[in-house]
Chain A
């Protein structure tokens, strides 16, 4: 192993064991166990990630997350009340309420992302020295909010400025001990690839809109076959655009991360879009296989507890009747529903999230870590109570 390498020693099997046990306990505790599960998951990721021979350590605990969640509930309860009241005040007020709630949530998401990042960093140790995030979460929320308005107004053209600014705000406020992270990435580093991708996407989208309009106006003359071919081609275009976006994402992350330094340490990240694509394909295949197994299992179980529904071909109405008359059928369906939900999150965790973490670990180089022995610790950051809003809004992976 080279000195500047990051090594991830975890495995899908190891994480799956933690997750499956956690899901089972979540059922028993009505979901209350999730704070413990998140904590265990992070401990696993952190402890298995070795940088220059030393593992990261996650020092957070479940009770901190629980407290944060309760604080978030305190914020949300009056919002619910307001929203419920608005929804009783006629259709316009309801629409206005939805729109308002959407805007407020979008704004709060920025705050939540920053706070969650602060929580995780300030509970991460490497070589006994804590990371930290300074800066103001509300400030970040405002920045992100106003950038996103500009983004809409300029039809996305402002994106490189926005991305570079937000990356800089996040990283220039990040500390390891008494060393501040320094990020030199600028919008011009993103502009080339961004506008190239933007042009491709714009051409395709405009083309697709044109074709769609043509189809709508000539609907009568079109044969079903020609229509089918067009739908097929449209699907192909969307997949291609997905790929273009993936390529850009890989370039943005690589260029921005590679412009970061911490004292003598230089980060270099070479993320290849093909690897990102492989992640997504792995996820899709795993999910499809898992769901095929679940569907077969569901067929067998429901066929046993509610044979009437499958008497001659499947009939949802007869299943509904069986559901009303038998707690066993109800139990089977609720359990099946939980299984479908759990399978999805399991696949996301094992293939998308862990895959991405492993990819970053294997593509990131940390040059100069050996010369950092004089970095000093800073005093505790005790002000943070959990990351409740992030938990509540369901942002922030890992």
Chain B
């Protein structure tokens, strides 16, 4: 067959108007005005190049990469039909690309799976190998950041309710802390501080610092509930969960940056994504902390399931509490209460964790004169 075309030889920028003859073996290209043969292409070695609608652009493996024949309009279908190599080449390339994309995706899936299951394990190992001084340093940094964010958002200072370390309440808390930790092996100097804050929560930082927020203390009705929360947070300290969490969050952020292709990791998506994935990891940690608390309960004489009562109450009364729990720490499930209850069955001959006057003093720590109970 014969068709008119535009021809670029790939060596100069000259545009040739040509006639193309497609015979059973070859594609012959003739200058239209002079009918000189400019080039002959092997029919089996032509390939198609992406072009706009109504155009057909082809190259050949035999020549420099810029050599092109461009057909337009009515010639396009006829040329396609006369050159089966075009369709063949196209299919081959498509399969090749699909293979690469497919294998790449599989590799990515296995990397993601490795991350999700491997990072918590890896974080645990890394934390075990990490010098405690370093973790204390990290803890101070985190405490500074928390202080800045609280002071900023509430327009006030982030401070201890009762700064006197020798007050009745603080001494009672320290005694309880020492007793709980006496069975553990933590390298840290553990410090529990009751802090003024509107958020009903308690947190354990890396390096042994535990914060119990005043809003949670207001919700806390019994000494058992208070002891349960504290022992639970001390469980996080014992298992160094804060540091584990930090490492795995960094790891997940990196992974999500990798997937989204934004390696600066500054995207909002990375933050939200890593928070969602990390909830799984932190639930494992919660169970460990629950077991630690239940073990201490047997020795110190409180009911660890009272802790679940408090969590339920906080999440129901305060919408913020549940939203907060969603993204960070405590999974509020009935399953968990049952587990705690079962762990508590074995106790307990010991006396109560706090005396009546101690508990009254603790309750009053954050009250200012007028609204004291």
Contacts and interface: CB of A to CB of B under 8 A. Distances in A.
Interface of A: 9-10, 28-34, 36, 43, 47-48, 53-55, 57-59, 62-63, 66, 69, 72-73, 76-77, 80, 84, 87-91, 93-94, 105, 125-130, 177, 315-318, 320-321, 323-324, 334, 337, 341, 372-377, 380, 391-394
A392 B259 contact: no
B291 to A, nearest CB: 22
Interface string B13-47: 11100000000000000000000000000000000
Contacts of B109: 30
A128 B263 contact: no
B144 interface: yes
A49 B354 CA distance: 80
Interface stretch (B98-106, B181-189, B343-351): B98-106
> What are the 8 closest A-B residue pairs judged by CB atoms, nearest first?
A317-B319, A128-B8, A128-B66, A373-B14, A375-B13, A392-B263, A29-B105, A320-B323
A317 B323 contact: yes
Contacts of A89: 137, 141
Interface residues of B, number: 58
Contacts of B269: 337, 341
23 contacts: A9-B52, A10-B52, A29-B108, A32-B104, A32-B108, A55-B52, A57-B50, A57-B68, A62-B97, A66-B104, A80-B250, A84-B250, A87-B141, A88-B137, A88-B138, A88-B246, A127-B8, A128-B10, A320-B323, A337-B269, A373-B13, A392-B262, A393-B263
A130 B66 contact: yes
Given A33-B101, A88-B141, A91-B145, A394 B65 contact: no
Given A29-B101, A34-B261, A89-B137, A377 B68 contact: no
Contacts of B323: 316-317, 320
Given A315-B319, A316-B319, A372 B141 contact: no
A76 B263 CA distance: 7
B322 interface: yes
B14 A392 contact: no
B49 interface: yes
B332 interface: yes
Contacts of B14: 127, 373-374
B271 to A, nearest CB: 12
Interface string B347-363: 00000000000000000
A10 B322 CA distance: 50
B218 to A, nearest CB: 19
Contacts of A80: 250, 254, 265
